[in-house]
Amino acid sequence: MTQEFYSNGKLLLSGEYAILDGALGLAIPTRYGQSLAINKNEKSIITWQSIAENNSIWFEASFDAYSLEIKDSSNTDTARTLQKIVQQAKNLNAKFLNEKRGYSITTDLDFNPNWGLGSSSTLINNIAQWAEVDPYELLRRTFSGSGYDIACARSHSPILYQIADQKPYFEEVHFSPSFQDKLYFVYLNHKQNSREGIAQYHNQNFDKLNLVNRISEITRRLLACKELSEFENLLTLHENLISENLKLPTVKSQKFPDFLGSIKSLGAWGGDFILVTSAADPTAYFEAKGFDVLIPFEEMVLKKP
């Protein structure tokens, strides 16, 4: 019998970087995600196959079912990362993978793994479900990070997320602004390494408590926003605060200075998706600049029916 698990992708609309120090963030689970299918076999081998959104196989490997020794792989670094995740899951649950049998495992992404929507966090959450372990602890032992992506993986509508006393707290909220038809997500053709971005944030010397308080207030105001103009002002304020403290230029000033709407980076600066506001469909503008992945708000955000 096949065991199957599924986790949603994620986007952090507010709180990037500062969320690590306790800022309140607004995050969305996406309609895109990743599934995990497990079938038992009698070979004492774990075979692993990862399928991309275009049905191509982007990774394959095999492991000893007991020692997790890598037998074969199409990418050594990916195999070692996967080996680490599964080993840590075993460390958290001594009963996990202690049967005398192997497994045939398939993961299936329904988004491009370069998009930064959570190919790692959805995998962590799926393996945590399979191993029956705490996904936040499994994340801490493997990739680290704030954990908002794990919360999104398990939620069915936008969330408010915060770390307090080193523990994650989140609640599902209603976030369906009247101007959502003016909101778009644009992929910057580059996957940003979030761990590098986090390291850069930690290396900066500034009043982090002040930033946390100001970002938290912006998050609350974004959630309650009724007018597009106010929403745009808040996005710009958020961008300028992070720019000032990280000593990095905003993505709008760097790449799109002539764009008429507001633009906000999402997650680690420099890649992945941006949030764009525009009174008219901005597809032609971004395509002319070489950015042809543009997804309207309604098509990206997972919301309860």
Q: What is the pLDDT of residue 190?
A: 83
Q: Give residues with Cβ within 8 angstroms of 54, minimum separation 6.
A: none
Q: Which residues pair with 296 in a beta bridge?
A: 184
Backbone angles phi, psi at 145, to 5 degrees: 105, 180
Q: How many CB atoms lie within 10 A of CB 199?
A: 10
Name the CA radius of gyration of the chain, rounded. Answer: 20
Q: What is the pLDDT of residue 133?
A: 98
Q: Which domains does the chain have, with CATH numbers?
A: 3-171 (3.30.230.10), 176-300 (3.30.70.890)
pLDDT (tens digit per residue) in 235-282: 999 999 999 988 889 999 999 999 999 999 998 777 789 999 999 999
Backbone angles phi, psi at 96, to 5 degrees: -75, 130
- What DSSP letter does each residue of 31-64 carry, written as one string? EEEEEEEEEEESSSEEEEEEE-TTS-EEEEEEEE
CA distances to 26, 33, 52, 71, 122 from 113, in Å: 23, 10, 7, 24, 11
Distance between CA atoms of residues 14 and 163, nearest Å: 14
> Pairing mode, if any, of strands 183-187 and 273-277?
antiparallel
Backbone angles phi, psi at 100, to 5 degrees: -85, 70
pTM over 0.85: yes
Q: What is the pLDDT of residue 254?
A: 93
Low-confidence ranges of the chain (pLDDT < 70): 192-199, 202
